């Protein structure tokens, strides 16, 4: 995987870092925000824990009464199924600060219970409002064949954006009976229909989900496969390609070692070189010692 976290995963890390607070303490606090590409990136600080940050990004169009113009101080709100965030503050140069209050929806827990999901506590209801999921998503997923049964599953569905559209797209690519957790894993590791199609076009059709996830985790992309085939590795399996990625056998490394004289080395040879720390610098140093 690349070292840079995608925005939704950054949000997930921030949410996990948030300590468990008393229900009343989570209901009010201060906020800071930055406007970026029609999104408001919010950071909420609970009143009694100013060192804690709860971050999430929301389309500007989702707010009611929001103006991000310089000097704007009009109150605005964000209405979710789980409750409503009320904001007061001011914006300048695309940034805002102020105070917030969360008012939970009194009927939310009952609506979830009717769908077979246990009652969320106050902290969980606040989190569900943040990631914008509730009975509507549960019903929509059920219609696509996915049954959400716990609050934890619903939170993950919201954080990682498991939608009915994604469920149907994965089914169309040959993965019709995935569990909610498997769909979450696919979202975490960026298993997209486009990536599946790209790999299938190169002969990797109908891969087991574990292999597909492993290729995505280790960034075995269609482009990487093409580059390796361009270097003469035509028959590499999914496991071979994953092993090359894990051990840092890149196209550049292959070219470097071939220039150093290893013109007939196999894929396994290159992996072994990486495992044992053999590179062109090592080869040159050994050549000098022999002279």
Domain spans in the chain, listed from the N-terminal domain onward: 7-104, 222-283
DSSP tag of 26: G
Q: Which long-range contacts (CB under 8 A, 24 or more apart) does 22-30 make?
A: 22/48, 23/121, 23/122, 23/123, 25/49, 26/102, 26/122, 26/123, 26/126, 27/101, 27/102, 27/103, 27/126, 28/99, 28/100, 28/101, 28/102, 29/99, 29/100, 30/97, 30/98, 30/99, 30/100
pLDDT of 23: 40
* 130 φ, ψ (degrees, to nearest 5): -65, -40
Q: What's the average pLDDT block by block, 10 residues per block, for the chain (291 residues)? A: 42 45 61 96 86 90 96 96 97 96 96 97 94 98 96 97 97 96 97 97 96 97 97 96 97 94 94 92 70 54
Check residue 287 and give its pLDDT.
Answer: 64
pLDDT at 206: 94
| pLDDT of 172 | 97
Three-state DSSP state, 106: coil
- Whether residue 73 contacts residue 90, with contact meaning beta carbons closer than 8 Å, is answered with yes
Q: What pLDDT is recorded for position 258? A: 93
DSSP H or E stretch at residue 97: strand 95-104
Tokens (6 digits) for 130: 């943040």
Token code pair at residue 106: 């009194």
């Amino acid at each position: 995987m690349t070292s840079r976290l995608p925005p939704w995963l950054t949000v997930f890390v921030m949410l996990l870092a948030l300590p468990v607070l008393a229900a009343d303490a989570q209901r009010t606090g201060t906020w800071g925000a930055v406007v970026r590409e029609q999104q408001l990136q919010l950071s909420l600080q609970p009143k009694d824990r100013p060192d804690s940050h709860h971050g999430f990004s929301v389309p500007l169009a989702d707010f009611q009464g929001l103006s991000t113009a310089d000097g704007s101080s009009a109150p605005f709100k964000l209405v979710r199924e789980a409750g409503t965030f009320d904001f007061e503050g001011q914006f300048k140069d695309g940034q805002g600060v102020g105070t917030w209050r969360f008012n939970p929806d009194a009927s939310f827990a009952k609506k979830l219970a009717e769908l077979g999901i246990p009652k969320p506590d106050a902290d969980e209801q606040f989190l569900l409002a943040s990631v914008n999921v509730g009975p509507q998503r549960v019903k929509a997923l059920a219609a696509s064949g996915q049954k959400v049964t716990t609050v934890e599953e619903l939170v993950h569905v919201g954080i990682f954006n498991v939608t009915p559209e994604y469920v149907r797209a994965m089914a169309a690519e040959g993965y019709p009976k995935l569990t909610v957790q498997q769909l979450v894993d696919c979202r975490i590791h960026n298993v997209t229909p486009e990536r599946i199609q790209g790999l299938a076009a190169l002969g990797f059709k109908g891969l087991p989900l574990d292999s597909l996830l492993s290729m995505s985790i280790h960034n075995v992309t269609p482009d990487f496969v093409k580059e390796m085939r361009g270097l003469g590795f035509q028959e590499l399996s999914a496991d071979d390609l994953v092993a090359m990625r894990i051990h840092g056998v890149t196209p550049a490394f292959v070219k470097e070692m071939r220039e150093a004289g290893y013109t007939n080395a196999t894929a396994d040879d290159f992996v072994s070189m990486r495992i044992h720390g053999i590179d062109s610098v090592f080869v040159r140093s050994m050549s000098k010692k022999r002279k």
